[in-house]
Structure 1
Amino acid sequence: MAVRPVVDLLELSPDFLRDPYPVYAKLRAEGPLHRVRNPRGLELWLIVGHDACRAAFTDPRLSRDWVGSGDISLISGAGPDHPGHAHMLMADPPDHTRLRRLVARGFTVRRVESMAARVQQVADELLDAMEADGRREADLITSYAFPLPMIVICELLGVPELDRDRFRVWSNEIIAPTNPANEGRAYTELLEYLVALIAAKRERQGDDMLSALIHAVDEGGDRLSHKELIGMSLLILVAGHETTVNLIGNGMLGLFAHPDQLADLRADTGLLDGAIEEMLRYDGPVENSTFRLALEDIELGGDTIPAGSPVVIAMADADRDPVRFPEPDRFDIRRDARGHIAFGHGLHYCLGAPLARMEGKIAIRSLLERFPGLALAVDERELNWMSGMLIRGVRSIPVRW
């Protein structure tokens, strides 16, 4: 069989980072599997289409255990022994099952619901600060969408108030690296911070998730190792914050681009639950899955992924597949968007999804109620989209009211 040629995504569309959906649709029309070169120059296998993506998430031949089974240098600037890799998103069963079980109690429905009042308070305080400025304009990301989930996840984990600019650099470099050196520096500096924080928590336990993780013991006497504590803390801090930042940011951009939908939501906030699901489907905060590792040759759609290859699941394309969602490029807050995979699918389904949904609903409702005349202050094409293919979002959103 002939070797499938590599498709350079940026050559297919120089506008790929801003609007990848036409590229994914073109590839999907040709089949579910493609060899591509991503914007960072890495060659990988890309799975598109709703059914193929859902199946890939549950295929045990597609592993997340890069440290144990693959070459981690293909996908990360941090070495194989870096504690930042010692978390459940980088593990397969039974290790994944064990790690998730030890952490899951911190994300129970009851605990998330108990945080709603505090999320509302944080949102109100941030909106007060925006209003008190007097300029009637702001960067929605810097002033609101970034600090809200950062404050919430830091308080949940038990992290003292971090320098926001420093944490934003760390987080951005880990999820959308500008170059390997900066990515490595971000991992190192965040690691040093977490080591010191865990040591302090061991000395003085608090009523927070990190203290609970340090002392958590399951029925069999199992507990997280020091390395796993660091890895899980890094995962919760970064993933627990980035998803919500871009749910708020992308969701508001969807509303700005569709004034009729914005007007409907302002007139009836009872539509908000459905609107959040449509925002997640239409332009969710996670564009593609984290890298999977093919443990063996895998045949899909007449092509074969060679063992040892990096594989990415195109969640953004799955949620724009017309087979699953009629008129998928239409943003409609009344649509039944259930069945989207914006938070993944299967055993790696996002543990923090209920928290992200709750924060997103409070954040967007409060924003629309406070500033009825809120509007995008620049042309949408001027927005600076993040590099890479993992997190989908913009660096800033200038608004006025």
Structure 2
Amino acid sequence: MTRTPQVVVIGGGQAGLAAGYHLRRLGVDFVILDGQSTPGGAWQHAWDSLHLFSPAAHSSLPGRLMPSQPGETYPDASHVVAYLADYEKRYDLPVQRGALVQAVHRDGPFLRIQADTGTWQARAVISATGTWTRPFLPAVPGREVFQGRQLHTVGYRRPGDFAGQRVIVVGGGNSGAQIAADLAHDTELTWVTQRPPRFLADDIDGRALFDVATARRRALDEGRTDTAGVAALGDIVAVPPVRQARDAGLLKASPMFLRLDRHGILWADGRRASADTVIWCTGFRPALSHLAPLGLRGVRGHIATAGTRAVDEPRLHLLGYGDWTGPASATLIGVGRPARDAAREIAELLKTAHCHRRLHGEIGHVPPVEYEAASYLTAAKPQVTTTN
């Protein structure tokens, strides 16, 4: 049986929940399809020591502040998982678990969504699948001949798993720095980065990064192409474990190596380092394979967007994949505004389509859904004032 909500949200992590919050406020009929069996999105798969970059009050989804975690300035991943589960329950968001979406097709006035649990038809789709399921591994020569263990950030959990080993951590971003700091005390660590690591000042955290991303987006929207002045803070947030390892002289980065061989890594100048394990902290790509049937990718594999809306398929919105789908939209605090904008555009699209169908006699004299915040607030569980 094909189900027909007005909107299908694909992904039940932070971006999908933020979209659900705003769709509920606007009185839109929707469902959230999530491939995971439990709430929490990618946060439930993070390494044990992972903490947010910002205090709880500055890491909240729209409508509900994240409570602080006792004894922690920066909440850990388990606290975020609990917050997301509570958020979903608080707003009674219609999440269907274990519904892994395989494909989205055009189907006349609808988009047809095929999942392993069934088929849906919707007037609009919000794709909010994130990046965690698409880890990126660079094409470094020798990767296939190295006889030690290789894993990506997604496979790392705790330093005890590597105690006493010779470990190469590759990557100069936040995940690389945090995992290198995690391993610095218990392993023979070599931290490798493409360029010298750039640390933010110790008193700067995720709040400043959000402000920078917002300023950069505003500059681009105003037609200014030179945004270096608002975006040149650095790459690595000096959270306490990173700062402590750095100050103890345990986070000394080496330049990127040339290749791997059976037993380790080799640099262009002939130096080498033996290794038992290589951990690739080399980032992610958007998980968008379910959108392939729509044929939206350009020559570089990028889907063109205007805000969150796909330029070549206005019934589709992409949310939470990075700055190209909204300033800091891959963060808890940053996803609220683009989620609100996407929900409003979709509500307007649905209203226009309803009026068109009535005009052409395709539906009877049924009043359109009133897309007003009040229709949600009267049914909220419980009523909460939005913070975004």
TM-score of the aligned structures, taking structure 1 as reference length: 0.23
Largest Rg, 1 or 2: 2
The answer to which structure has the higher strand fraction is 2
The answer to which structure has the higher helix fraction is 1
TM-score of the aligned structures, taking structure 2 as reference length: 0.24
